[in-house]
Amino acid sequence: MERKQRLRLALAGGMVVVMVVVGGLFLSGTWGSGTVNFMVHDAPCSQCSHVWITFTSVSVHGSGSSGSGWIVVNISGATFDLQALNGSSAAKLLGVGTLAAGQYQQIRITISKVVVDLTSGSTLNAAIQGPNGDFNGGFTVKGGATTTLSIDVDLAASLHLTPGPGGSMNATFTPDIATVGVSGP
């Protein structure tokens, strides 16, 4: 009889440990999913009056409990005048996604179109070199909470204006993320 009692006590103790661990994960926000706001902003281009960027998607790369591989947040067709988004206080909402609670270590933006209005009055369709801009830097999503990522697309490093034939200009855009600010719990 004593052996059965010890076995029952051991099983009951094991169940208590499991309940404490699961409850702790839930209360600490590492369980479930959270909301992520993706914001975009940048500093201006001196030769440009407008730089219209059309974003196709934002992706994040998970690690550990949040999974591995790229998770795509579809924001197809979101177009912003990056020239007007000078600094994080002028950031615009690019998209909102729900992600599993956990750690993420990379962010990728995908761009499908760039139209540049020059201060001279010319409009250029920029050639896009590699439509993806990647940023290596971690952030955490907590269950039931909202995390905001403010993506600074470095316009000076991304947009290249070169003289073309007959005094025209050519534009090439290679997405370059300078920084990503993280705010939230």
Residue 23: pLDDT over 80:
no
Whether residue 10 is found in the same domain as residue 62: no
Residue 29: pLDDT over 50:
no
Whether residue 12 is found in the same domain as residue 98: no
Whether residue 25 is found in the same domain as residue 46: no
Residue 25: pLDDT over 70:
no
- The model's pTM is 0.76
Whether residue 38 is found in the same domain as residue 4: no
Whether residue 122 is found in the same domain as residue 171: yes
Whether residue 96 is found in the same domain as residue 55: yes
Phi, psi of 156 (to 5 degrees): -65, -35
Decide: 113 and 103 in contact? Cβ < 8 Å. Answer: no
The pair of three-digit structure tokens given for residue 148, joined into one six-digit string: 């905001």
Looking at residue 21, what is its pLDDT?
A: 32
Whether residue 128 is found in the same domain as residue 38: yes
What does the mean pLDDT of the chain come to? 81
Looking at residue 108, what is its pLDDT?
A: 94
Number of domains in the chain: 2
Whether residue 126 is found in the same domain as residue 171: yes
pLDDT in tens, 111-158: 999 999 999 999 999 999 988 999 998 899 999 999 999 999 999 899
Whether residue 177 is found in the same domain as residue 92: yes
Q: Measure Cα distances from 47 to 38, 125, 129, 175 in Å.
A: 28, 15, 20, 18
Looking at residue 26, what is its pLDDT?
A: 38
Q: Provide the residue range defining the domain that includes 25.
A: 1-31
Give the span between the Cα atoms of 42 and 88, in whole angstroms. 7
Residue 185: pLDDT over 80:
no
Whether residue 104 is found in the same domain as residue 42: yes
Whether residue 8 is found in the same domain as residue 96: no
pLDDT in tens, 46-105: 889 999 999 999 999 987 656 668 889 878 778 999 988 876 678 889 989 999 999 999
Whether residue 23 is found in the same domain as residue 91: no
